[in-house]
Amino acid sequence: MSMKENISPRWRELHGSKNWENLLEPLDPSLRQEIVKYGEFAQAAYDSFNFDTNSKYCGSNYYRKDDLFDKLHLTRHGYKVTKYIYAMSDIIMPQLLETSLADSAWSKESNWMGYVAVSTDDESERLGRRDIVVAWRGTIAPAEWVQNVKIRLTPLGEGNAKVERGFLSVYTTKGKSSKYNKKSASQQVMKELKKLVSSYKEKGEEVSLTITGHSLGGALALLNAHEAATTFANDVPVSAITFAGPRVGNIAFRDKLDRIGVKVLRVVNKPDMVPKVPGFGLMDAMINNKLGRSIAQNLHWTYAHVGVELEVNISNSPFVKHEFNIAGFHSLEVYIHLVDGYHGSKSEFRKDAKRDLALINKSTGMLIEEVKIPENWRQLSNKGLVYNEYGRWVEPTRVEDDLPSPPSESSDDDSSVDSSTEGASQENEMN
């Protein structure tokens, strides 16, 4: 593992205060470490998620929040989880929602969607501030939700900013009959952020908010960053570091994020298809042209990327297969590997990159055969089944402390979502 540097004198610069100017080409070593860290926080949202459609806990987190980083070997980062986030929508993961119709399922409507974490005292001293992180989970396969993405844009509060309807649905949908989503993901996360920011500000600490996610999680990170920056109004610097994120909104949404001070660093693997949607391939070139932008602003299907792009390319790594592989190009572990080995756009893969290569094959077969690591090696022992006292192999019943627990929200606190998303939430309830 690489040594952790004290970055307190330059934390604002690394957090994007100057849009990472002169830090990406070549890639600043300290920034590389930070990007890898946030990538691993996003990866944790996959590694702890129960994808097993045979399990009555399908769609939940395997672990309690107090155990999450310990179980996933991430305690070295010096953060602790404070909150789990749940979401409900028909585009999160269709087959999981079908499974959840079973009477024995832990939830009939909701999926675990991410978490909030905060840096410990020691880590905060190294970072130069108290860092609050929100990590959002994506979906299993890129094609799974790309097929569900609707080209229709829907308004985001007042003004001309619009975002993709399905992404906003995941972020704002709630249901009165739901155990886990009486409050939307938006309301859950914002209540926790307000509590944490207030607590640390009262102690006189500097506080930052870093929101991360992969794929669909990258889209949710931008919606979350927009709401947080609107809520805290320049009192807390807000940055989003996303991986394989799609376009989320229109030109006005991009301009609004810039205007309210949200700093966005998008990590993109060149052959990955997900960052190219919604929209079409020439869209970015079109809206960056004066005439094209004028035309695009009046089209209902015009999407724009936001922030600064760090483009990596799988073809630069000597350790992964380069043949066409949609899922492999999109894999977050592949992304993190490419960032760890990235020095510059015209440079070779770093020879002193230290991150474990075996992690790439955790849920893919992307490593070259010469590395001798099995494909898709990460799984629960015996796929989660245990041999019980009656001599049968069964899914263990979780003890009470390990059961998925709904957010402890008071019924009268519905004000945590700001006006920019409240209307969308009400619309989703009606629909």
Catalytic residue (choose from 52, 272, 284, 340): 272
The reply to whether 343 belongs to the active site is no
Specify which residues 374 forms β-bridges with.
none
Catalytic residue (choose from 77, 214, 330, 343): 330
Catalytic residue (choose from 215, 317, 331, 416): 215
Query: What's the CA angle centered on 84, arms 121 and 45, to 5 degrees?
Result: 90
The reply to whether 418 belongs to the active site is no
Q: Which amino acid is residue 109, in one-letter code?
A: E
Q: How many CB atoms lie within 10 A of CB 134?
A: 27
User: For residue 191, what are the CA distances in angstroms to 43, 390, 397?
Assistant: 24, 46, 31
- Distance, in Å, from the CA atom of 117 to the CA atom of 386, rounded to the nearest integer, reads 32
**DSSP code per residue over 314-371:** GGG-TTB--S--HHHHH-HHHHHHHHHT---TTSPPPTT--S-GGGGGGS---B-GGG
> Is residue 164 within a helix (H) or strand (E), and if so which, with residue range?
strand 162-164
The reply to whether 300 belongs to the active site is no
Q: Helix, strand, coil % (nearest 5) of the chain?
A: 40, 15, 45
- Distance, in Å, from the CA atom of 248 to the CA atom of 216, rounded to the nearest integer, reads 10
Mapping DSSP to helix (H, G, I), strand (E, B) and coil, where does residue 116 land?
strand
User: For residue 406, what are the CA distances in angstroms to 12, 174, 374?
Assistant: 35, 13, 37
- Distance, in Å, from the CA atom of 142 to the CA atom of 281, rounded to the nearest integer, reads 17
Q: Which two tokens stand for residue 65?
A: 């929040």
269: Cβ contacts below 8 Å, ≥ 6 apart: 244, 311, 312, 313, 314, 329, 330, 334, 335, 338
111: Cβ contacts below 8 Å, ≥ 6 apart: 59, 60, 86, 87, 88, 92, 93, 96, 97
- Distance, in Å, from the CA atom of 83 to the CA atom of 115, rounded to the nearest integer, reads 5
**Which residues are known to be catalytic?**
215, 272, 330
